[in-house]
Chain A
């Protein structure tokens, strides 16, 4: 790791101010991707501004079916939340299967979404849940937030403060882990809302997380695992690498969609 300077922000405003005085600063919220990357000398920020201790950005509320999760809330907190367990267990279950206990106790939902790793779990949930990403500047619909692998609509001095969504009627996530990294080789989040089904897919797409409209149409027509399994998944949209080719990933998307529908009930 190259030398860096660590700053603990007390508020989102304080973080933005600290970033303004940094040479080549980087926000950190859990650091479960950033710190290993720095250890490998693949990232060398002059300053780390830690968002993980901002109380206003922590916690989970469920109000009339409206779920709000602070950006600095850890995966472990989401996984163990009793409110989420009853209002939207799909996201709690997803959080409980991210990485390992160390990652879940350090990593945060805001950090994961801002990083938008193409194999991360939360972005698929954000798309399927039609979440709003609340920042220090504005509210961004999930559909407009994820703009490509490791790319988001966030501006340089913009920080995610929370995410919010209306709990769906039912939802679930199924992922097939990469045998090596255990990141998603294909992760599918299905959510049935009052106004229709939304399906978010992570890990498998050649350009990062995406909504699978054909799968949404199929499940709108018939909410069943058979409908998911019968849906056409275009190999041309799929990633191909040493762990699996596009045909395999296309199959996994179908199988994970089917399993997610079964889990959602």
Chain B
């Protein structure tokens, strides 16, 4: 059976995961290892008047108690945001200082002020409790819109009025004019709720300093170990890049939260040098809730204007984005180039204008979370077009179709140029799979059982494989967004692929091997994927933004091209044939049209014995490549959610969920379906259950699973997943990416379905039973009054 492109190969990595043999950062055990426990602010905003460490220092097992003054005294740099955004008045963004250990002020609950290094986790934690911090409590603010008020607490001196930037995209006047002349304008206030990322494995770091070599090793839960090394060395001056090895071993889920370089990794590295101990820190779940970068938290008001033919003529959006207490690594890019550039959705809209204000608050920093900006854009557009259809009295599917972009490439007014797609094909497939035509009968049947049945659509588009490097650089990115790969063919013909992508659940060890298998006809068991270690892989940009297929695998393909070309040269010489006549398939190297054949392994061995190589050809068979994409890729599709609401309790049951996606070429359908299932689960979680809630003093009320509702199996239906694909013209495999689509496309489908069921459009995420019940009551009261 083929194990190449398109085959449902079982995941190679699952054997070790399922049998408990995965090797995670917390599994690292170094001799004489010490443990870090952080002293964290219990206040959302306070001035630190002093830190008394003496009691803690004399406690059992304590090696050191370190604070921010020592950290900055040793020259450790502030944490940076890696994407510079320019406000519409031309001024640079107002970034406040963020020290890995706070010195003068703490700005959110969980902000680290000191660290205890001790011989056991318990001793470290007990001593951390004994560190006496003199806090002068200051007023706090948690909501972004309120933070901009003139009487709100000022969080960073660098950002007057707590405003980080005031940015815009698109043509303001033209959009206003278009909307003013519209036959109908849909106006909505839309909030995108703040969520906590909750990877199953909490963040962890183990740092070691080798004094004899003056060399550091950091094991860490990272989606991008090379980026971590670069930032730790170039910006935080923790160690020079050539003296720092970063290893991200098995990582149990990332969802964006493990892209960033957090205070804990910096402090563990620095503390390992200070104490000459290997230092380990693993977050407990409460620390994860408090310190893993949160996602979303947008407040928007928007107007969508339609002409008399129900064509969208203008779309104007004003968004306030809550950044939390500090600017996390890619935070600035999320509500700008990852959000506002997708506001055309699947629709042909001439005039779009979006204004975004980014605001500091006394909350956990906010950054990219599965989808990053695109879910916020999709939710806004798809809630509005569904609402518009209801208000116009037209079918929501047909209003979408009426506005779909039909021809590609298509230049939107908000930077993005869509390269390929067939939006109607996915809409049609979803409508058919959902038996959309039969919905009214199902609604009636549900009503006879006392249930309110509703249906909701969402036609999403997103952008994956953020690129090209020169373009993102011109928009303010501090890094390039290419990927690298190295293909090492061993003398016996087995292959190691070193990739700069990083797997933390995606199944790269299987899919990447399938691409190699497809090329040479080798079994995937003969192919090893190596990633996550800066001493093995030369450089890489890591995995986020659904880039590993479109960008990471493209780099592998480029390296394979070089390997294939060299293997053909060698084989042609060995077989005394013309290089152009050599074909490699099913593990054999053949001369086309003849019975002259060599085994793949024979050619590989020939490359390494070098007894019979073409003149001037170097021995060996190992090639590397860097791939910088020409454009983003644009996965798109239509999701249809059908719900039944219990009017007595407000409980929503998802009774059907249909997804029709265009992901371009699919390497492993089973893994892609798994990504869609997981993505939808995450989107349903945001739509129905999840929200990080702060009280007025900035205390996180949802700091454990007692109060933060994660989706469970019984909250979710069986999904109907299918694909209507167009090939991405901009990368060699035609891949678009599938990692985030489910989380992007599903929330509006769920909310559109519930609001359809209950006849009240005034409903925000998460649509908890309590909220849905209240919305039903409001509808009943309104109906009673009429």
Tell me the nearest residue of chain A to B695, going by C-beta.
Answer: A242
Q: Report the separation of the CA atoms of residues A1 and B125 in the bound assembly, to the nearest whole angstrom.
A: 10
On chain B, the number of residues with a Cβ less than 8 Å from chain A's Cβ atoms is: 24
Query: Which of A3, A178, A180 has most chain B Cβ within 10 Å?
Result: A180
Q: Report the separation of the CA atoms of residues A39 and B648 in the bound assembly, to the nearest whole angstrom.
A: 38
Q: Report the separation of the CA atoms of residues A2 and B125 in the bound assembly, to the nearest whole angstrom.
A: 10
Cross-chain contact B649 with A181 (CB below 8 angstroms): no
Cross-chain contact A179 with B649 (CB below 8 angstroms): no
Q: Which B679-713 residues sit within 8 Å CB-CB of chain A? A: 688-689, 693, 701-702, 705-710
Tell me the nearest residue of chain B to A249, going by C-beta.
Answer: B770
Chain A residues within 8 Å of B768, by CB: 179, 243-244
Q: Which B212-254 residues sit within 8 Å CB-CB of chain A? A: none
Chain A 91-105: CB-based contact to B (< 8 A → 1; otherwise 0): 000000000000000
Is the C-beta of A78 less than 8 angstroms from some C-beta in chain B?
no
Chain A residues within 8 Å of B286, by CB: 40
Q: Which A162-176 residues sit within 8 Å CB-CB of chain B? A: 176
Cross-chain contact B707 with A2 (CB below 8 angstroms): no
Cross-chain contact A243 with B705 (CB below 8 angstroms): no
Is the C-beta of A251 less than 8 angstroms from some C-beta in chain B?
yes
User: Across chains A and B, which 4 residue pairs bring their CB atoms closest together, nearest first?
Assistant: A180-B709, A244-B770, A179-B709, A181-B706
Q: Report the separation of the CA atoms of residues A247 and B707 in the bound assembly, to the nearest whole angstrom.
A: 20
Is the C-beta of A248 less than 8 angstroms from some C-beta in chain B?
yes
Specify the main secondary structure of chain B where it touches its partner: loop
Q: Report the separation of the CA atoms of residues A180 and B689 in the bound assembly, to the nearest whole angstrom.
A: 8
Please report the number of residue pairs spanning A and B whose Cβ atoms sit closer than 8 angstroms: 51
Question: CB within 8 A of A180: which of B125, B650, B708?
Answer: B708
Question: CB within 8 A of B649: which of A1, A40, A255?
Answer: A255
Is the C-beta of A252 less than 8 angstroms from some C-beta in chain B?
yes
Is the C-beta of B769 less than 8 angstroms from some C-beta in chain A?
yes
Is the C-beta of B773 less than 8 angstroms from some C-beta in chain A?
yes
Q: Report the separation of the CA atoms of residues A248 and B775 in the bound assembly, to the nearest whole angstrom.
A: 11
A sample of 7 cross-chain residue pairs with beta-carbon separation below 8 angstroms, ordered by A number, consists of A179-B688, A180-B707, A181-B705, A247-B774, A248-B769, A248-B773, A248-B774
Is the C-beta of B617 less than 8 angstroms from some C-beta in chain A?
no
Chain A 235-254: CB-based contact to B (< 8 A → 1; otherwise 0): 00000001111011001100
Chain B residues within 8 Å of A40, by CB: 286
Chain A residues within 8 Å of B129, by CB: 41
Chain A 63-87: CB-based contact to B (< 8 A → 1; otherwise 0): 0000000000000000000000000
B767 to chain A, nearest CB (A): 11
Q: Which A149-201 residues sit within 8 Å CB-CB of chain B? A: 176, 178-181, 183
Chain A residues within 8 Å of B773, by CB: 248, 251
Cross-chain contact B649 with A242 (CB below 8 angstroms): no
Chain A residues within 8 Å of B770, by CB: 243-245, 248
The verdict on A180 contacting B706 (CB below 8 Å), with A3-B122, A251-B773 known, is: yes
Cross-chain contact B706 with A176 (CB below 8 angstroms): no
Tell me the nearest residue of chain A to B129, going by C-beta.
Answer: A41
- 4 additional A-B residue pairs with CB within 8 Å, beyond A179-B768, A248-B770: A2-B126, A179-B709, A180-B689, A183-B706
A10 to chain B, nearest CB (A): 30
- The interface of chain B, by Cβ under 8 A from chain A, is 122, 125-126, 129, 286, 648-650, 688-689, 693, 701-702, 705-710, 768-770, 773-774
A5 to chain B, nearest CB (A): 15
Chain A residues within 8 Å of B122, by CB: 1-3
A213 to chain B, nearest CB (A): 23
Tell me the nearest residue of chain A to B708, going by C-beta.
Answer: A180
Cross-chain contact A179 with B769 (CB below 8 angstroms): yes
Cross-chain contact B689 with A179 (CB below 8 angstroms): yes
Q: Report the separation of the CA atoms of residues A242 and B650 in the bound assembly, to the nearest whole angstrom.
A: 16
Cross-chain contact A181 with B707 (CB below 8 angstroms): yes
Cross-chain contact A242 with B774 (CB below 8 angstroms): no
Cross-chain contact A242 with B707 (CB below 8 angstroms): yes
Chain B residues within 8 Å of A178, by CB: 709
Query: Which of B122, B701, B709, B769 has most chain A Cβ within 10 Å?
Result: B769
A228 to chain B, nearest CB (A): 12
Chain B residues within 8 Å of A41, by CB: 125, 129
Cross-chain contact A176 with B649 (CB below 8 angstroms): yes
Chain B residues within 8 Å of A1, by CB: 122
B42 to chain A, nearest CB (A): 14
Tell me the nearest residue of chain A to B770, going by C-beta.
Answer: A244
Tell me the nearest residue of chain A to B648, going by C-beta.
Answer: A255
Q: Report the separation of the CA atoms of residues A40 and B125 in the bound assembly, to the nearest whole angstrom.
A: 11
Q: Report the separation of the CA atoms of residues A41 and B126 in the bound assembly, to the nearest whole angstrom.
A: 10
